Amino acid sequence: MNEKPAFDAPLHVGQLNLPDQAEFRDMFEGIFARQFYTNHGPLEHAADQALAEHFGVRHAITVVNGTVALMLLLRAMELSGEVIVPAFTFPATVQSLVWAGLKPVFCDVDGDTQMLNAALVEAAITPATSAILGVHIWGRGCDPHGLAGVAKKQGLQLLFDAAHATACTFEGQRIGGFGRAEIFSFHATKILSGAEGGCITTNDDALAARLRTLRSFHASDEHASGILRLNAKLSEAQAAMILLGLRHLDRFIQENRQRYELYRQGLAGIDGLEFIDYAAGEQSNYQFAVVRITATKLGISRDELLDWLTARNVLARRYFHPGVHRTEPFASALSTELKVTDELCQVLLQLPTGQAITQDHVRDICALIRSAIT
Ligand code: T4K
C-alpha cells in the first residue's frame, strides 16, 4: 500500500462556501466607517430581514450560532419535562436540550429517510413529553406534516433543527416555516456561512418578540419581561458575511450540486456504495455528499475506507459517529434500543465538497476510492 498522501494539502468536508473577498472588504469598510460593530447594528437588521424573506417566514432572529439558537428557542417556548429527539444528529441538538433543563428522550429513525417519523415518535410519547424536536438531516425534510399531526393530536409542541437545511424544500415548501419554529446554522462549513452564526425562524409574533429580548441584554422595542436573557447577538462582521453569502447562495448550491453529480458519475456501479438521494422536484443545498457503505458487498468497511482516504489527505468524515446516545452521560441512562441509528453511525461517510474542492479533485477522489476497493 502506498502511504504517500495522494494530495499535497488536505481536502476537507465543507470547505468552504464564501463570498468574494473584495465584496467582503467593501462591506467591512462600511462597518469601520460607522464605528458600529455589534449590538443590533444595521447589518444585523438587514440580515434578519433578508433571512425572513429567504425562508418565507414572518420572523428570522439571528444569533451567534445554531447551538445557541436552539438553546434560546427551547427556553423561549417554555418547555418542560421530556423532549423526543433523534440520536442520529450532531451532539449540539441534544446538548441544547440539556442546557435548557430538558430531558432528551431518544427515538430511533426511519431506515429510509434516516429521520424521525410520525409512527416512531408516537410510540415514544410518555405523560412527561412536552415537545418533539425533529432534525432535517442532509437538508431533507423530517416528516413535517406527519409530526405536526402527532403534535396536534397529543397536544405537544413541535420544533425543528434545520442546521443542514438552508434553501431546502419539503413537498415544495421551503424549510423554515414548519412546526412552531426552526433553527438554522451559519457555521463556516455550511452552505451559508457567517463564520459562526445561526437564526431562528417562526411565524409566531409573540415567540419572535420573546426571542429578540432573550438574545440581548439591551432593551428593544419588542421588550418582553420575565425571562432569562443572554448575549447571543450576531456581530456586524457575521451579518456582513451572511448577507454576502445570500447574494451568492444559488451559485454555491449549483457548484456543490455539480460536485455531487460528478461524485455520483465517478462512483456509479459500485456494489456496496450508494449515495443519499434528493427527491426530484425538491430544492436541496448539496452541502453534504453522503455515501452509505455496505462492507459485505464493497469488501472493506466504512472505517477502513475512511482510514485509507485519510492517509491520502482526503479528510472524509463520519457524521454522526459515535451516536450521541453512545456518549456519556446518555449511554449510561439509555433504556431503548436504537437499531437503525446504531447501524447508520457505522455505515455513512461524507466526502469532501465545497469551494475548495475542484472538479479534478472529485475525479481524483473517485479514482482513489475505486483503487481502494480493487
Ligand atoms: N444541529 C445540527 C444537526 C448540526 O449539524 C449542527 C452543526 C448544529 C445543530 C449546531 O450548529 P452550530 O452551533 O455549529 O452553528 C461541523 C460544524 O462545526 C458544525 O457546525 C456542523 N453542525 C457539523 C455537522 O460539522 P465539526 O466538529 O465536524 O467541525 P470541524 O471543525 O471538524 O470542521 C469540519 C471540516 O471542515 C474539517 O475537515 C475542517 C473544515 N474546516 C472547518 C472550519 C471551522 C475548514 O476547512 N475551515 C474552517 O474554518 O462540526
Q: What is the pLDDT of residue 2?
A: 46
Do 157 and 285 share a structural domain? no
Residue with cell 432535517: 136
Do residues 164 and 313 both lie within one domain? no
Atom of ligand 1 nearest to the CA of 137: 3
CA-CA distance, 107 to 88, in Å (whole number)?
9
Domain identity same for 169 and 284 = no
Mark whether 220 and 266 lie in a shared domain.
no
**Ligand 1 atom closest to Cα of residue 186:** 15
**DSSP secondary structure letters along 268-330:** TT-TTEEEPP--TTS------EEEEE-HHHHSS-HHHHHHHHHTTTEE-B-TT-S-GGGSTTH
Q: In terms of Cα–Cα distance, which of 185, 163, 166, 187 is closest to 175?
A: 166
Of 185, 213, 247, the one marking the end of a domain is 247
User: Domain check: are 159 and 288 in the same one?
Assistant: no
Same domain membership, residue 174 and residue 56:
yes
- Peptide bond just before 144 cis, omega within 30 deg: no
CB atoms within 10 A of CB 252: 25
C-alpha cell at 252: 454555491
> Cα–Cα distances in Å, from 78 out to 131, 223, 298?
10, 17, 48
CA of 189 to the centre of ligand 1 (A): 6
Reference 113, options 82, 90, 91, 86; nearest CA is 86
Distance CA 265, CA 268 (A): 5
Q: Measured from the CA of 135, which atom of ligand 1 is nearest?
A: 3
Task: Compute the half-sphere exposure of residue 55: CA atoms within 13 Å on the CB side of its CA.
Answer: 29
Confirm whether 160 is domain-assigned: yes
Ligand 1 centre distance from Cα of residue 179 (Å): 25
Domains identified in the chain, total number = 2
Which pLDDT score, from 0 to 100, does residue 282 have? Answer: 95
- The answer to whether residues 221 and 90 belong to one domain is yes
Q: Each residue's pLDDT tens digit in the chain (374 positions)?
A: 445 567 888 888 877 888 888 999 999 999 999 999 999 999 999 999 999 999 999 999 999 999 999 999 999 999 999 999 999 999 999 999 999 999 999 999 999 999 999 999 999 999 999 999 999 999 999 999 999 999 999 999 999 999 999 999 999 999 999 999 999 999 999 999 999 999 999 999 999 999 998 998 765 555 556 567 889 999 999 999 999 999 999 999 999 999 999 999 999 999 999 999 898 899 999 999 999 999 999 999 999 999 999 999 999 999 999 999 999 999 999 989 999 999 999 999 999 999 999 999 999 999 999 999 97
Q: Is residue 309 part of a domain?
A: yes
Same domain, 34 and 109: yes
Mutate to test the pocket of ligand 1, among 68, 97, 140, 189 (most ligand atoms within 8 A of CB): 189
Identify whether residues 257 and 235 lie together within a single domain: no
Find the residues whose C-beta lies inside 6 A of ligand 1.
12-16, 65-67, 89-90, 92-93, 135, 161, 163-164, 185, 187-189, 198, 315, 319
Cell of 204: 409566531
Q: Which domain holds residue 89?
A: 21-247
Same domain, 82 and 164: yes
DSSP symbols for 83-110: EEEESSS-HHHHHHHHHTT-EEEEE---
pLDDT number for residue 229: 85
What is the C-alpha separation between 213 and 208, in angstroms, rounded?
9
Q: Based on the fold, state whether residues 334 and 203 are members of the same structural domain.
A: no
What pLDDT is stored for residue 1 in this prediction? 45
Q: End of a domain among 182, 215, 247?
A: 247
Domain identity same for 53 and 189? yes
